[in-house]
A and B are shown apart, each in its own frame.
Chain A
Amino acid sequence: MAILSIKKLSKNYGAIRALNQVSFDVPPKTVFGILGPNGSGKTTLLGIVMDILKATEGTYEWNGESSSPAIRKKIGTLLETPNFYHYLSAVENLRIAARIKEADEDDIPRILEIVNLYQRKDSKFSTYSLGMKQRLAIASTLLGDPDILVFDEPTNGLDPAGIAEIRELIKELNRKGKTIIMASHILDEVEKVCTHVAIIQKGILKAVGSVREVMNTGGEAGATEAALLVELGAADLTQLRTVLDKMPGIESIADAEKGLLVVCPESLGTAAINKWCFENGVVLDKLEIKRKSLESRFLEITGSKSDK
């Protein structure tokens, strides 16, 4: 059973459609990344499933049940910015969260140790740096040892060492069997941490699946056939492009550093490309299968280099 099942979720802000019929399932024990440019609807989506925003249409379920306060108590959530009482200390803020979640307050010192805030546990929240506030927010999500964690841009405001620590913490939590749902616009972060990903652009789900599936399949969400990314080289690149343009099955052709980058269905195969080029008068001097990065795939899907 999916940990979170979202069905045709839409959200309008007046005339603006922030989410449009988004549907996907989050499998258990995964690190599920929700990826998209700024303003794509990631936070809106998480806000709806955490009950602070009202959906215009659609439904969602946690572990097959409609959302309720009891379910939210068992989910550790950091949404957008760290939200705490500025005039209270870290311990006092966590005590409030623990009381709401009905979590063990004696666990607070241990959790503050995990996020390296124990030394400043009695300092007021207002005196914290941005990174410390973020760490406290992450500490808050760990209260009650929840099986599901929801992070919205968890490494916001952290220095490189802090980012590495949080990444390691997320991986460690996942190794312990926790399901982590993480929204981010930092592609590298998602690729390094996530096992699954959903790509959203302008409120529309563009792709969803395991990171491997999303990187290898072509087209829109739901596509199943793996895609092949091949770098080709020849003495005359203009002629090579003309020949490839006419080849059935080639999905896209882009300039590479010393050749052309071609995307085609995996079933087409490199042998067929080589044969087609030879039969059309082009001798390839380079034919290399490239490993796709999530970044290249993301740009391919969203068709934009902005906001990455």
Chain B
Amino acid sequence: MIHLLKIEWLKVRRYTAFIVLAFCFVIGVFLINYIVYSVNKNIVSNVGPAGLISFSPYSFSNTWQTTSYATGFILLLPSLLLLMLMTNEYAFKTHRQNIIDGLSRGEFIGVKIMIALIFAVVSTLLVFITALCFGLASGTSFSMSGIVFVGYFFLKALTYNMVALLISVLIKRTGFAIGVFFIYLGGENFVAKMLDLWSIKIKRDNGTDLGGMGDYLPMNAADGLLTFPRNTISDMSKSFMPADYTWLILGLAFAYLLLFYWWTTKKFKTADL
């Protein structure tokens, strides 16, 4: 696998989109958290005395959850990059040439999945470092409590990357694949919101708590694990919101990942290239 990863490195190291998007993501992780930090600081300083939102999102142990949640908004960057790397292979027909030159189909798609994993690991490391820095800057004492949210972030990053990879294998054309990726993302979010509202209605009308059903959808399963830390406002809405069945959602998120893995590899291994 190291040999294959070195070949992939030769492919991407001079690819402008890789350099630009990777740079944007690294800067973006810090920037989006700084924005959340600044906005929260200003809100707290303005309405804090009223006691409405009197909590510090970047103090230990909130920092792990807040950083993971906030960085989730720019997770599209690495997944878009992965999508472009894969559709480039189709556009240049280099996927065929790589196979002709002696890679097996399993090796070719296997190393792309490995890149999806590496992107997720690197994103998670960035989140860990950023959360640590913001946490230490908050002046509170270090705590690993809440580190599980960094794990959820990893799951979300991997899910986004695997969906991007699957779409690129199915669609093949860069522009079209990016369009489908965004439409799917938007479409699933819309359906998820409808399902969430339905869950609230069922709970209110029948008293049956099915959980937030929107979280049972593929990308929302990983999304649903990452929420903003509990605060006064979220506590106020807790009474009528459906419960979070974390273990169920976690199981679903892993199941969807397995499904994406199986579908991507099967498609690439059996299709005409």
Binary A-proximity of B95-106 (CB < 8 A = 1, otherwise 0):
011111111110
Number of A-B contacts (CB under 8 A): 75
B272 CB–A CB distance under 8 Å:
yes
Which residues does chain A contribute within 8 Å of B98, judged by CB atoms? 100
Alpha-carbon distance between A102 and B93 when the two chains are bound, in angstroms: 21
Q: Are A84 and B92 in contact (CB under 8 A)?
A: yes
Is B270 engaged at the interface, CB distance under 8 Å to the other chain?
A: yes
Chain A contacts for B270, CB-based, 8 A: 54
Could you tell me the distance in whole angstroms from the C-beta of A155 to the nearest C-beta in chain B?
Answer: 19
Determine whether the beta carbon of A88 is less than 8 Å from that of B100: no
Query: B17's closest neighbor in chain A, by CB?
Result: A87
Q: In the complex, what's the smallest C-beta–C-beta distance from A119 to chain B, in angstroms? A: 20
Segment among B8-16, B141-149, B254-262 that sits at the interface with chain A: B8-16
In the complex, what's the smallest C-beta–C-beta distance from A49 to chain B, in angstroms? Answer: 10
Nearest A residue (CB) for B7: A99
Does B114 lie at the interface of the complex (its beta carbon under 8 Å from any beta carbon of A)? Answer: no
Contacting pair A69 B104 (CB below 8 A) = yes
- Provided the pairs A54-B272, A88-B14, A96-B11 are in contact, do residues A72 and B101 lie with their beta carbons within 8 angstroms? yes
CB pair B104 A77 closer than 8 Å: no
Interface SS of chain B: helix
A95 within 8 A of B: yes
* CB atoms of A51 and B10 under 8 A apart: no
Decide if B3 touches A99 in the complex (CB within 8 Å): yes
B183 within 8 A of A: no
Partner of A86, one of B92, B101, B271: B92
Q: In the complex, A101 Cα to B103 Cα: how many Å?
A: 8
Distance of A95 Cα from B107 Cα, bound (Å): 18
Chain A residues within 8 Å of B11, by CB: 85, 88, 96
What distance in Å separates the Cβ of A246 from its nearest Cβ neighbour in chain B? 53
Rounded to whole angstroms, the CA-CA distance of A95 and B272 in the bound complex is 26
User: Which of A70, A83, A85, A87 is B102 in contact with, Cβ under 8 Å?
Assistant: A70
Cβ contact within 8 Å between A84 and B16: no
Assembly CA distance A69 to B107 (angstroms): 10
Q: Which A residues touch B10, using CB under 8 A?
A: 92, 95-96, 99
> B93, A100: Cβ atoms under 8 Å?
no
Is B94 an interface position by the 8 A CB rule?
A: yes
A43-59 near B? 1/0 per residue, CB < 8 Å = 00001001111100000
Of all chain A residues, the one with the shortest Cβ separation from B3 is A99
As a 0/1 sequence over residues 79 to 119 of chain B, the CB contacts with chain A under 8 angstroms (1 = contact) are 00000000010001110111111111101000000000000
